[in-house]
Amino acid sequence: MKATLQDFITYMSEVKKASINTIMSYQNDLTKLMKHLDQQNITEAGKISETSLNSYVLTMEREGMSPATVSRNIASIKAFVFYLIKKGKLLDDPTERMKAPKVEKKPPHTLSMEQVNDLLEQPNLSTVKGIRDKAMLELLYATGIRVTELISLRAQDINLKNKFILCFGNNKERMIPFGSMAKQALENYLLKARNELIGNANTDICFTNLSGEPMTRQGFWKIIKSYGRMAGINAEITPQILRHSFALHMMENGADIRSVQELLGHSDAQTTQIYLQSRTKKVRDVYIGSHPRA
């Protein structure tokens, strides 16, 4: 069954052109499913049944997984089963009656503007690492790009004169502007740190690790979490939270939802709508705290 799973992952990557994040989710979710099926002595794709899949869903719920996590796993399972049917490894659809739990869409966690400012002030600009980290953090908050897009950015994708980057996330090219603070940090990095970091490496990747190799997602996650601790921010900090903060702060300062959708690279405006919940809540809180008859 492992070989079949790997064939599915290859299919989703090379044929369906799914994003790296989607591929990783499928890989993680379905690997856990395989372990569960193996415990039930189900080692062939053709023996996957409605009963065995329902058993796995119940196991996830008993383990305390959130409805959102269970729902995502079910989506992964359905995609895999569809592939198995397409390839003739399954005749009937064992997921036909499988329904995902209702997921309450909560506004994403974000940082305040003060917290973002504190975070961005942490890198030590007397070191090449600090100069690089400053540029990465400033650019991430200035553009709202995904962490995968950030670490894949090439030096030639940055237009310092006109202050924009070319981003190729999810197989779509988009041009994203950035401001003067990000420009200053990028100029400083490209002038003082990048050549020292890449050394003799032949790479067009803009941001590398200290060995001159492309940075990993996990590597940047550690960087941002470290600066969060240094800034004394107790809330969870991830690249995705900084992306959420970018979107919310844009909308709080007057950006329309369509513009934010385009900047974030969302294919569906409904995905961007969630930031309206946070903005509406803030307006409501201000009203309650300010109106004499609230």
* Span 219-240, pLDDT tens digits: 999 999 999 999 999 988 999 9
Q: Give the pLDDT confidence of 92-103 residue by residue, as tens digits.
A: 999 999 988 887
pLDDT at 291: 54
Fold (CATH) for 113-288: hpI Integrase; Chain A (1.10.443)
| Domain residue spans of the chain | 2-86, 113-288
Q: Given CATH 1.10.3470, say whether it is the number of domain 2-86.
A: no
Lowest mean per-residue pLDDT among 122-136, 170-184, 265-279: 265-279
**Mean pLDDT to the nearest integer, 78-106:** 89
Q: How far apart are CA 242 and CA 261, in angstroms?
A: 16
Do 219 and 209 form a contact (C-beta atoms < 8 A)?
Answer: yes
Q: How far apart are CA 180 and CA 214, in angstroms?
A: 26
pLDDT at 258: 82
**Mean pLDDT to the nearest integer, 189-196:** 95
State residue 165 phi and psi, 5-degree precision: -120, 155
pLDDT at 107: 67
Radius of gyration of the CA atoms of the chain, in A: 22
Contacts of 130 (CB under 8 A, 6+ apart): 123, 124
pTM, rounded to two decimals = 0.64
190 is written with which tokens? 């490209």
pLDDT at 251: 84
pLDDT at 205: 94
**Mean pLDDT to the nearest integer, 201-215:** 91
**Mean per-residue pLDDT over the chain, rounded:** 88
Largest pairwise CA distance in the chain: 68
Contacts of 13 (CB under 8 A, 6+ apart): 23
pLDDT at 266: 76
